[in-house]
Amino acid sequence: MPSPFPGMDPYLETPKLWPAFQHQLLACLYQILFPGLVDRYRARVGTRTYVSETPLFTSIIREQYAEEYIEIRNRTDGDLVTLLEVVSPANKTTPAGRQAYLDARQQAVQQKAGIVEIDLIMQGKPLLTYSRDGLPEYDYAVTVTRSNTPDRYEIYTSTLQKKLPKFKVPLAADDRDALLDLQAAFVRAYDLGNFANQIDYKGAPPPDVPFTNASRTWTEELLKQMKLR
């Protein structure tokens, strides 16, 4: 069964489901991206790890995180061309996760690489600071930074009620962009991860997801229409 939501499924924003979903989504993005790359590039899925420490009364809770990302590199010299990230809840809600993400981004900027940030997380604070003036209201965003204009962002947005966007992945300056369909990757990842059988749509959405009253009402009506409530 496909996800009942037209785009991103907010029920995936849980510690129990997110790591598996992020893994599947990165794998599907790689599978869609790789065949379209010309011979001058090679792509790989990498992993970074870090530990988050949270004080709790007189003790400290330590959690280990492993987050995957996609690197596109020149085949000849191995230089980083593009870094593609899927933001995790920990990146937006924990100091260690945020710092790990921003450190990786800064390294890519220093290597004069393009950067793609896929943010499908509503909880927490945004990782990138830019004005929303002139932008439509949105819940999710893909932000593209090109190597020759690191302070300028191309922003592809979506809401809970809409499909996820297609977006351009920058490659070398003298090469045309690759096109990725985020909705197609999501559908494939949701199916391969068998998330339909792991999510109880009769229950409330994850408590950390900041639903507005309108979004909560829309979600309840949608799930009723899909006979999941």
Q: 3-state SS of 153-199?
A: EEEEEECCCCCCCEEEECCCCCCCCEEEEHHHHHHHHHHHCCHHHCC
Distances (CA, A) of 51 to 98, 106, 226: 12, 19, 40
Question: How many domains does one find in the chain?
Answer: 1
Average pLDDT, the chain: 94
Asked whether residue 107 is domain-assigned, the answer is: yes
Residue 2 lies in a domain: no
Asked if the structure places residue 181 within a domain, the reply is yes
Average pLDDT over residues 219-227: 95
* Percentage of the chain exceeding pLDDT 90: 84
pLDDT at 70 over 90: yes
pLDDT band for position 86 (cuts 50, 70, 90): very high
pLDDT-based confidence at residue 87 (cuts at 50, 70, 90)? very high
Looking at residue 135, what is its pLDDT? 84
The answer to whether position 129 is within a domain reads yes
Whether the pLDDT of residue 144 is over 90: the answer is yes
For 147, phi and psi rounded to 5 degrees? Answer: -60, -30
Determine the 3-state secondary structure of 139 from DSSP: coil
Q: Is residue 222 part of a domain?
A: no
Q: Are 67 and 56 in contact (CB under 8 A)?
A: no
| pLDDT of 55 over the 80 cut | no
Is residue 55 in some structural domain?
yes
| pLDDT number for residue 61 | 80
DSSP letters spanning 74-93: ETTT--EEEEEEE--HHHHH
Percent of residues, the chain, with pLDDT higher than 70? 100
Q: Are 88 and 100 in contact (CB under 8 A)?
A: no
Question: What domain range is 35 assigned to?
Answer: 10-201
* Model pTM score: 0.94
